[in-house]
Amino acid sequence: DIIMEKYHNNERVEDIAIELQCSRYMLYQKFNEWNISRRNKIKAKPRSNAIYTINYEYFKKIDTEHKAYWYGFLFSDGYVNERELSLCVKNTDIDIIQIFAEDIETDVPIKYDKYGNPFITIVCKELSKSLLDKGFHNRKSWSIDFDYIKSFVPDELFNHFIRGMFDGDGCLKYYSYPYLKKPQLHFGYTGVKNVCEFIKDFFDINRDLIFEGNVTY
């Protein structure tokens, strides 16, 4: 009766065995003898042994403006594999990484490469898996199923996804020359062919794609 009362109060078998000065294997033998069904084993939470905190479920569902933006930004300018994701920007854009870290609720430190550019690397299989399941992979510069990736973005959040893509791989330049009557603006995007074709169609831009080299346009 004492054993079963403690067991049904969710005390650990190891602790009951220590208190009764017997082995836990003896208790398991008694459970079998008494036809007592075992409790379901409590599975440890993901990252329960990790030093740094993180919202590892952040990208499970793209359902907010910020999630859609970071989804697009990581698609264009992030790195994701089976165990980690990383984001690197130029030194004048460190606020981008700071806001990203704040949004995914992580205290992983921001580091700097040899050129002084800030980057963050997050080792979290659960976070990576939620992106890999949506079509991300670490060779997206060569080929990507873009239609599959963008299918996870709701229509009402799609402009934020595009904004994230553009902040990653797009450019906007302002030209002002003394021989021109008014300044000129340059709007551009660099990526693989099918992604550039999508950008071209999305903004209804009447320009031919320019081949840059390897697989980029």
CA dist., res. 41 & res. 12, Å (int):
11
Q: What is the pLDDT of residues 39-53, one digit of tens each?
A: 766 555 666 567 889
Lowest mean pLDDT among 27-31, 61-65, 197-201: 27-31
In which order are the strands placed within the sheet that holds 118-123?
78-80, 84-88, 118-123, 111-112
> What residues have CB less than 8 Å from 9, skipping those under 6 apart?
none
Look up residue 101 and give its DSSP letter: H
| 98 vs 82: CA distance, rounded Å | 23
Does the structure show a pLDDT above 90 at 85? yes
Q: What pLDDT is stored for residue 157 in this prediction?
A: 96
> In the chain, how long is the greatest CA-to-CA distance?
96
- For residue 80, what are the CA distances in angstroms to 147, 154, 166, 175? 18, 22, 18, 36
pLDDT tens-digit series, residues 121-165: 999 999 999 999 999 987 655 668 899 999 999 999 999 999 999
Both structure tokens of 41: 């084993």
C-alpha distance across the termini of the chain, in Å = 74
What pTM, to 2 d.p., does this model score?
A: 0.74
Q: Which of 158, 166, 161 is nearest to 190 (CA)?
A: 166
Q: What is the mean pLDDT of the chain?
A: 89
Report pLDDT digits (tens) over 87-113.
999 999 999 999 999 999 999 999 999
26 pLDDT more than 90: no
86 phi and psi angles, rounded to 5 deg: -140, 155
Res 116: pLDDT: 94
Identify residue 155 by its one-letter amino acid code.
D
Q: Mean pLDDT over residues 166-195, rounded?
A: 91
Residue 169 and residue 76 in contact, taking contact as beta carbons nearer than 8 Å: yes
pLDDT (0 to 100) of residue 147: 93
Question: Which residue in 124, 140, 153 sits closest to 49, CA to CA?
Answer: 124
